[in-house]
Amino acid sequence: MSAVFVTATGTDIGKTFVSCGLIRHARAIGRPVDAIKPVATGFDQRDPQGSDAGMLLTALARPVTSEELERVCPWRFSAPISPHLAAAHEQRPIDFAQLVEFCRTAISRARGLLLIEGIGGIMVPLDDRRTVLDLISLLRIPVLLVTGSYVGTLSHTFTGLEVLARRNIDIAVIAVNETPGSATSVEDTAKTLAHFAVPLDVVPLPRLAPDAPEHPAFAQILSLLSA
């Protein structure tokens, strides 16, 4: 597959962490890869490198400049809240048609794998009528669903899978990102998800430090995205 939409069961689950890991692994094996994160909130102009878009650019070995930020993330808002609210606060509503066209253009121009990282979870509102799910539905590309190992993640993940299935959206793989301090392990969470989500592939991913060596789970996920 040439393009994958990276979404999650909620906010701060690990979409950017997983996306950056996949980018680094793809580059390490010589596979062409690119990434965009069309919409971002909580963007700090004083620390662009620390933003999700900045981390994607760093993983891609591209400079974190205004031009590059605009290329990968044109809708950036400062308030760390839902996109439709952040856009309203800044009186810069998200033009949904332009958002869809931006993503489609990126897909058409991509060489190799393109990761489109969403914002928040599957059902986060982008404007007064449309959510991230509506964007995924129109793009008609497979989904990489990132979830955690926190207590409650099973219900959140199964609900997300049900919502995606109702829109006939293909799910390429579920990545279970370890939640620090959880009462349950990432391995047990992944096993339970795999049991109930047959035949979907579920890959557990331990929480890693930014400077940690590459984990083989990224190779497994990338392989599944290539199938």
Enumerate the active-site residues: 37
Residue whose pair of structure tokens reads 């190992």 in the numeric block: 149
What's the token pair of residue 27?
A: 């580059």
Question: In degrees rounded to 5, what are phi and psi of residue 47?
Answer: -140, 65
Calpha distance 127→21 (Å, rounded): 30
Q: How far is CA 63 from the centre of its chain?
A: 21
CB 218 within 8 A of CB 22: yes
CB 60 within 8 A of CB 23: yes
Q: How many CA atoms, within 13 angstroms, populate the side-chain half-sphere of residue 101?
A: 5
CB 6 within 8 A of CB 144: yes
The CA distances from residue 105 to 55, 96, 154, in Å, are 22, 14, 35
CB 35 within 8 A of CB 42: no
Which helix (H) or strand (E) covers residue 70, if one does? helix 66-72
Calpha distance 73→60 (Å, rounded): 14
